[in-house]
Structure 1
Amino acid sequence: MIDKIDTETLEGWLDNVRSFADAGRVADYIPALSERDPHELAAAIYYLDGDYYQAGESDCCFTLQSISKVISLALALIDNGEEYVFNRVGMEPTGDPFHSIYRLEQHRPSKPLNPMINAGALAVSDMIHGHTTEEKVGRLLSFLHELTDDQSIKVNEGVAASEFETAYLNRSLLYYLKQHGVINGDVEDTLKVYTHQCSIDVNVQSLAKIGAVFANEGRDLKSGRQIIPKHLAKICKTFMVTCGMYDASGSFAIKVGVPAKSGVSGGVMASINGFGGIAVYGPSLDEKGNSVVGFKLLEILSNRYDLSIF
């Protein structure tokens, strides 16, 4: 076991990568996200023994965005089982952008290649059990409360409304999926679930703890209770390795080599067996949609402390 990266050390590493925030740009295709300060940075590490260290503006909240795809996948697998889920969504990585419709038109049956692209995540959101959109979102929130032991986590309704109103491409994906029988629910209802799950507010402490629970084979860090079945946690981490960083997942695997998932709000969650969870927030994004600071900080930490799983 390596020496723990304490707050002072983590602050130093975060300071080392601050200048990288100028190398990207804040997402603006969702109006509510465009208002964030690209230099608002934070990082956290949650170890498996419960020790926790943070750096930067660690109290600031940001929305999960695509990081929520890992959470919804875990819940959908718990609700339905592997066979049901993967009959509708594939397991293969793709080099296409996360919002692409191109591969859906090439494959028969027209199921999404994996749950980390938008088409796959939309299909997964449709699979979450619940009679209403409110019940489905409520179950996602309850699941997050269980993973983090933080009952204050909630949906940022302003961001959710902004996403829902401008989700033209995701509506197109849903109509395509509905046409080909991949989803069963109503298009607008499924879109509401998806935009609300993406708009759940977290901070780096909560996000790092989620990563630590996955790293702990789905068990609660304090009680050891199995929140996510071990084999399902393994599936989710495998998708994080192969598909978690959009179409930069291959280069991330080489440069960093840990299971991770990013979101266009600027968050990145990493989960490392035998170590714990790492979360980074930096809203300035590269051309692939990943946090520039998040990618660089994880690269430095992985190389300095030999965290790569490869």
Structure 2
Amino acid sequence: MISHLSLQKKDTLSNSVSLQSDENDFEFLIINHKNFDAAFSLHGAHLLHFQLKDQAPIIWLSKTAIFNENKAIRGGVPVCWPWFGPAGKSLGDNLPGHGFARTSKWTVKNIDELSNGVEIQFSLTDNEETRKLWPHQFELVLKATLTETVKLELISTNTGAESFFYRAALHSYLAISSPDACKITGLNKNYADMLDSGKAKTSDGTLIITEPVDTIYQKSESAITVEDSTYQRNLTVTNTGNDSEVVWNPWISGAEAFADMPDDGYKTMLCVESAITDPVGETIAAGQSHTLTTTIS
């Protein structure tokens, strides 16, 4: 999924992790493990690729994704934080959609080689620029544990003196063979249809994608499974710390409207996101933390 990128190695960070960059010095962490291949960008602490050896990729990345410091990357797992969707009038006007974490430069905090994988921690802290957008002190850590599964833990710590609330999502783009080969099970029966003005609706918890979908489901009571008959695999998504799951596919017209997605890109991706979408968000007291996770297996 990243083989089309022309990268040059800059540094070796561990046995399986190297720092690489493209011709514009956009930086990537490339993981070549005996069991899998993976990639992150430091821009957004963004998981771009994960693929077990001799299997189809689990994470989808747009073939026409744009890599620069000003734009979120299309595909992978963008970190939406400290809000999901529009910021809301209470925070101000003209703020970036889905927050600023996904377009910020993160640092590598720690890398541990495991017996069956690797654990990488990325860190983002408040600075003058973030406080112009959101006036709070924080440390945000993305802990990625990559083995035969992908486990992402987004740890939000309030380093200030007053409480704050946040909303967020681990905006996972799953790689699929085709929409008509997939069935999603385990969803909550109650959801808001964002393509129908957020109207509350119900279902049987099963979904087959045949048209554009943008839905916010109430938190599932169980794991969510994407059954892919062509790839002959089930992807299981287990979320914690969330209040909802977002399911999204832009379909034909949506893909055509994106400059950074091929017109047929909708055919091989499906977003199933661990999210905090309630307007009241998650409140974190001074000195405390909250963790949002997603595990894809």
Structure with more strand by fraction = 2
* TM-score normalized by the length of structure 1: 0.23
* TM-score normalized by the length of structure 2: 0.24
Structure with more helix by fraction = 1
Q: Which has the higher contact order (CA 8 A, sep 6+)?
A: 1
